[in-house]
Chain A
Amino acid sequence: QVQLVESGGGLVKPGGSLRLSCVASGFTFSDYSMSWIRQAPGKGLEWISYFSSTGNNVYYVDSVKGRFTISRDNAKDSLYLQMNSLRVEDTAVYYCVRGGMIADGIFGRWGQGTLVTVSS
């Protein structure tokens, strides 16, 4: 069955860095776009980054542009999020999410999430 397993979260000081990883299984990873979506504690959902299946398109929400970098390794069925210059407001559960075949913005499969806490 489809599985997305995130790792790499943890406690980091403001200004620090973290690299999140997501390993996919149960489907042909290279056929799908992938996104990262986050959820601050007790808050709603915020899409933050997208990587197309073809590798031709990468998008970011304005609040993370220049600080976060999304990448993927289709040979390893893996998605990554390099997060630099972290801020307190980046504290959230980060979900690795698969886009849909009909539309990239239909988020049909989610990982269990990894918690990133930015605090001094």
Chain B
Amino acid sequence: DIVMTQSPATLSVSPGERPTLSCRASQSLSGNLAWYQQKPGQAPRLLIYGASTRATGIPARFSGSGSGTEFTLTISSLQSEDFAVYFCQQYNKWPPTFGQGTKVEI
């Protein structure tokens, strides 16, 4: 199975800052990577797929980039509602696998 590794585990930021979250895959994903946001007590929400395509309704401040085995999620100006856990996930090969998550906190 493809192993997904996210860093850092926790990111302490302030509103208005520009956090960058990293995700590394154990093998090339051909761009088949997604990002999800999960707030406490809620189901995950799809943010990005295809490494860089925003899902429907996702604000433009969320952007994804990367290729091969290295990927990044950037939030251009952090809003209060963006404090959450973010997961990357590969869908290049079955089974789909997730990173362990990055918690974005104040």
- Interface positions of A (Cβ within 8 A of B): 44-47, 50, 59, 61, 95, 100, 102-108, 110-113
Contact = CB atoms under 8 A, between A and B. Distances in A.
Contact of B91 (A46, A105, A110, A113): A105
B48 to A, nearest CB: 10
Contacts of B44: 45, 95, 107, 110
B97 interface: yes
Interface string B92-106: 001111111100000
A61 B43 contact: no
B98 A47 contact: yes
B64 to A, nearest CB: 13
B83 interface: no
B91 A45 contact: no
B43 A95 contact: yes
A22 to B, nearest CB: 12
Nearest to A35: B96
Given A105-B32, A106-B91, A44 B46 contact: no
A46 B89 CA distance: 10
B91 A104 contact: yes
B13 interface: no
> Which A-B residue pairs are the 9 nearest by beta carbons?
A105-B91, A110-B43, A105-B96, A45-B98, A106-B49, A47-B96, A44-B100, A108-B46, A44-B101
